[in-house]
Structure 1
Amino acid sequence: MQAASAAPPSLRSGSRKFWIVMVSCFILTDIHAQQQPETLSLEQALDIGVNNFQRIQAKRKYVQASSALTQNARNEYLPNVIASVQQNYGTVNGQFGPLGAVGVLGVSSAGPVYQNQSWNAAFGALYLVNVNWEAYTFGRVKSRIELAKAQVDRDSADLKQEEFIHRIRISGSYLSLLMAQQLVRSAESNLKRAETVQKTVRARALSGLNPGVDSALANAEVSRARLALLDLRNNEQQVRSQLAQLLALNGMEATLDTAFFVRMPTVFTTDADILQNPQVLFYKARVSQAESATKAVRKSIMPGITLFGIYQARASGFNYNYTPEFSDRYSKSYSDGINPSRYNYVAGVSIFWNLMSPLKVRQQTRSQMFISEGYRNEYDQVTVQLQNELKLADQRIENSLQSAREVPQQYQAASDAYIQKSVLYKNGLTTLVDLQQAIYALNRAEVDRSVVYLNVWQSLLLKAAASGDFNLFSNQAQAK
């Protein structure tokens, strides 16, 4: 049976072209998708900023350092155990006489008194175990532990405050960048309207229906619109850079969530106590830490009761009956000199108290008390400040909601006026100045419509910052 004939060349060529076109479409679609910047949600921005910001990371390390110091303060309850091994070689000349070796290192040779200098030398050794435990300190160690705990609480409160404030900063910068981008879009629309008017004016001026001065005014308006667009783009780039710094990123090209332009928050009240604001808690922790420091200074003058015990072994190459008359009774052998032959122990209890301590720490105690009072004044100040900011936030929320209800009417009226003036100008029934005034009104209405929702969100963010309830803002901002 004869084999089937091959496909015609034209058919094969058409099939190859089809597949080439399909593969090219897939590649172009993939490249376009890769070039599109990702949308950065507010939740993602908050996570990135809190995890990457170096100041927050540093304060986490400070908390860890304070925790280590707390454990170190607890370790002061442990006894001191000192073990010593000493092996030496030297002479044992002795001499009667007074000695006052204050701050001077010297030898502690012990032996018989010779009439003349003797250079007899042998090995010797000292083995020592010393245990001492300050069993009762009348609250000194406890006050240091409490001070270390207060330091941990202060650093922890500082970390929570920094995270809270940083979330507020990121959210504010996020909304500011959204507003800046929207203003750029409004400026681009305004430029397009100005260019449309410019074309109309040129056509009517060339046909003699309008004076040439209208063309000059239209050109000036286009230039003004371009300059305004450039200024707003510069502002948008600056705000974008600020947000990138808060996120600890080297530049940021992601687009933002524009859902804030189409919805508003619905909950504006919170049950959070302003005294639980992380900023207030930080200042409260500073007061507690200063009070603990004052208590620790006062306790530092208290005495201490110490239990101690010493066990000692001593070796010497000199015999027990070594005397100036029998100066040959010693051994230069190393093993004879380090083999202990005498043992002693001491156990006891002691109490010590520096009677001058109260005078020495008196001014230090006063200084610490003044610091505590200063921290308490700052605590009162930040509390009053946040209460005033909370009232201001409520007023701003009310004003923003009123603006949100009024802006749609303003935009509709400005849009209708622009259309009417544009039609009238094209028919020669109004002047270019009237048309430009209508354009200004429409541009302003567009800007107000763009930012009115963001004003409500920013007012809510201000209330969240003052009340300390960031969830009041974040739960509604991240809702889909």
Structure 2
Amino acid sequence: MHHLKRYGCAALLLLLAITGHAQQRVTLKDLLNKVDQNAPELIADSASIAIKQAQATETRSNWLPNLKLNYQADVGTNNNTAGPYFGFGIIPSNSRGVRTENNTSAVLTNLGIAALDWEVYNFGAYAAQNKVAGSDITVEQNQFQQSKYKLQAYTIGNYLQLLRLQDYLAIQSRNIERNQQIRRSIQSLAKSGIRPGVDTSIAEAELSKARLTYIELDNQLKQIQLQLATISGLPYQSIVPDTLAETRLISQTNIPGLIVADTANHPIINYYRSVVKNSLQKEELVKKQYNPKILLEAAAWGRGASVDANDKFNNLSSGWGFDRNNYLVGVGISYNLFDLRRKQLKLRTQKAATDYALRKLDEQKSLLALGVSQANIELNTAKQRLAEIPNQLKAATAGYRQKLSLYKSGLTDIIELNAALNILYRAETDYAQARFAYTSALFQKAVTGNQVSSVLNLLN
């Protein structure tokens, strides 16, 4: 007997441990950390930052010179005539003076060239290109932070919805229990002939309705769990919110005063501010990219041909090898006068883009200020609701108990009892909705004011 008791206690402890593990709660801070690490959207955005960094590295190499090595061997005629022409890139070169008669004898030539061209200085265009490339990285990084911010708001909203649905499920469970209690009472009263049999049918219908509502609420909860599982990488069954979080936030009445909006460093503001800066730097690039260019040119080459200096056409094999060598070095400056007009037109377009970016920045500042004000009003309204709701709940509870007692005594009918039950159910759901509205407004103020971490720290 002693052994049975000992094994029974061990089995009970094991069952409690398993149950506790299965119902382990996920805090909002832990969920947000998982989303930051595993959200597909953030993983893709981080890859786009790497692209911009690679492009910036590529841009920094624009200053490198071109050093081209060329070699060719050709067989053809050497038969020139006088007169100018434009080459258009398709007329082959044929170096030799004009002969008195036509000569179509074949000539073998070979040519090797090493040619350097280098844009040594362009009056700040290289530096402007690098600044724009660096600014592109900053824009992409701020875009990433903005995506994190939006995903954070999305995660918080869904987490609070889970808390609300859990409250609704608990209320619905109590509603089912009350309907079961009413049905048992009716069945007992109907058997004794105090109540008509039709009351049993009405009670069954109400109980079935309560169960269907529970099923629908459970489905909504699972759908939100699936959405959070997609961005967090957690199994959806394990995303069970910490029900005490809502209670902690409601009990700390000084939290709203601690949330001081910091919109100056808000991720959305930082993103649009970086877009404005990027556009301004592109303006500078437009100004610099049409500046004159100082070029260094150099070439060394060797040539050989089967026709000699006496204009004798020798055997083709004598054309191999170089018998003349040359070099050429020069510095030049290049400027296209019509670039003045091109620069004006392009700069006008870029200035329009800058003006648009500034207007978007101002728009986002206004929207954030509006969001903070709306959250403050909603928070104050939610506090007033929470103060008033207990009165409704207390009265509804007392009314239901009174109606249930009267029904059991045969002093009222099933319709009035169900009406009292519905009033109690509505009061409980109103209370759950008021709790949700308060925490939702609190986090809305924190999200809009860039102070989510301050609220999360209060939940520890």
Counterpart residue identity of residue 77, structure 1: W
- Equivalent residues of 2:122, 2:293 under 8 A apart: yes
Give the structure 2 partner of residue 296 of structure 1: 285
Counterpart residue identity of residue 336, structure 2: N
Kindly state the Cα deviation for residue 173 of structure 1 after the two structures are TM-superposed. Answer: 0.5
- Equivalent residues of 1:261, 1:451 under 8 A apart: no
Q: Secondary structure at the match of 2:320?
A: helix
Find out whether 1:198 has 2:183 as its counterpart: yes
Give the structure 2 partner of residue 355 of structure 1: 337
Give the structure 1 partner of residue 105 of structure 2: 119
Q: In 2, Cα distance between the equivalents of 1:231 and 1:152?
A: 47
Kindly state the Cα deviation for residue 361 of structure 1 after the two structures are TM-superposed. Answer: 4.1
Q: In 1, Cα distance between the equivalents of 2:401 and 2:16?
A: 42
Kindly state the Cα deviation for residue 174 of structure 1 after the two structures are TM-superposed. Answer: 0.8
How do 1:150-165 residues align onto structure 2 when only pairs under 5 Å count? 150-165=135-150
Q: Deviations over 1:119-149 (max 9, x none)?
A: 343352313242x332332232222222222
Which one of the candidate residues 45, 51, 62 is aligned to 2:37? 51
Q: In 2, Cα distance between the equivalents of 1:282 and 1:144?
A: 21
- Equivalent residues of 1:92, 1:111 under 8 A apart: no
Counterpart residue identity of residue 134, structure 1: E
Which one of the candidate residues 77, 96, 102 is aligned to 2:63? 77
Q: In 2, Cα distance between the equivalents of 1:256 and 1:427?
A: 43
Kindly state the Cα deviation for residue 69 of structure 1 after the two structures are TM-superposed. Answer: 2.2
Kindly state the Cα deviation for residue 221 of structure 1 after the two structures are TM-superposed. Answer: 2.1
Counterpart residue identity of residue 416, structure 1: A
Find out whether 1:148 has 2:115 as its counterpart: no
Q: 1:83 to 1:371 in 2, by over 3 A?
A: closer
Find out whether 1:285 has 2:302 as its counterpart: no
State TM-score, norm by structure 2: 0.87
Find out whether 1:110 has 2:110 as its counterpart: no
Kindly state the Cα deviation for residue 332 of structure 1 after the two structures are TM-superposed. Answer: 0.8
Q: In 2, Cα distance between the equivalents of 1:83 and 1:378?
A: 47
Find out whether 1:226 has 2:211 as its counterpart: yes
How do 1:317-328 residues align onto structure 2 when only pairs under 5 Å count? 317-318=305-306, 320-323=308-311, 326-328=312-314
Kindly state the Cα deviation for residue 117 of structure 1 after the two structures are TM-superposed. Answer: 3.0
Give the structure 1 partner of residue 384 of structure 2: 402
Give the structure 1 partner of residue 295 of structure 2: 306
Find out whether 1:419 has 2:401 as its counterpart: yes
Q: Secondary structure at the match of 1:72?
A: helix
Q: Deviations over 1:321-366 (max 9, x none)?
A: 341xx433x6615xx723x343322222211111111223433322
Q: Secondary structure at the match of 1:354?
A: coil
Q: 1:280 to 1:404 in 2, by over 3 A?
A: same
Q: In 2, Cα distance between the equivalents of 1:194 and 1:26?
A: 32
Q: In 2, Cα distance between the equivalents of 1:413 and 1:31?
A: 40
Find out whether 1:185 has 2:174 as its counterpart: no
- Equivalent residues of 1:396, 1:459 under 8 A apart: yes
- Equivalent residues of 1:121, 1:332 under 8 A apart: no
Which one of the candidate residues 346, 349, 363 is aligned to 2:328? 346
Q: Deviations over 1:234-269 (max 9, x none)?
A: 322332233233436675443222222432254223
Q: In 1, Cα distance between the equivalents of 2:30 and 2:329?
A: 66
Q: In 1, Cα distance between the equivalents of 2:156 and 2:115?
A: 63
Gaps of 5+ in 1: 1-13
Q: 1:125 to 1:25 in 2, by over 3 A?
A: same
Flag as ranges the 4+ runs of structure 1 deviating above 4 A: 24-35, 248-253
Which one of the candidate residues 371, 379, 403 is aligned to 2:361? 379
Give the structure 1 partner of residue 225 of structure 2: 240
How do 1:434-473 residues align onto structure 2 when only pairs under 5 Å count? 434-473=416-455
Kindly state the Cα deviation for residue 102 of structure 1 after the two structures are TM-superposed. Answer: 4.0
Q: Secondary structure at the match of 2:255?
A: coil
- Equivalent residues of 1:91, 1:109 under 8 A apart: no
- Equivalent residues of 1:92, 1:112 under 8 A apart: no
Decide which moves more: 357-366 or 393-402. Answer: 357-366
Q: Secondary structure at the match of 1:128?
A: strand
- Equivalent residues of 2:301, 2:325 under 8 A apart: yes
> Whose Rg is larger?
1
Q: In 2, Cα distance between the equivalents of 1:319 and 1:95?
A: 14
Counterpart residue identity of residue 354, structure 1: N
Kindly state the Cα deviation for residue 314 of structure 1 after the two structures are TM-superposed. Answer: 0.6
Give the structure 2 partner of residue 262 of structure 1: 247
Which one of the candidate residues 130, 134, 153 is aligned to 1:168? 153
Q: Considering only aligned residues, what root-mean-square deviation do their CA atoms show, in Å?
A: 3.3
Kindly state the Cα deviation for residue 463 of structure 1 after the two structures are TM-superposed. Answer: 0.6
Kindly state the Cα deviation for residue 34 of structure 1 after the two structures are TM-superposed. Answer: 10
Decide which moves more: 80-89 or 408-417. Answer: 408-417
State TM-score, norm by structure 1: 0.84
Gaps of 5+ in 2: none
Identity in percent: 23
- Equivalent residues of 1:260, 1:453 under 8 A apart: no
Q: Deviations over 1:136-190 (max 9, x none)?
A: 3223222222222222221111111111111111011111012112212211210
Kindly state the Cα deviation for residue 400 of structure 1 after the two structures are TM-superposed. Answer: 2.3
Give the structure 1 partner of residue 320 of structure 2: 337
Q: In 1, Cα distance between the equivalents of 2:238 and 2:37?
A: 19
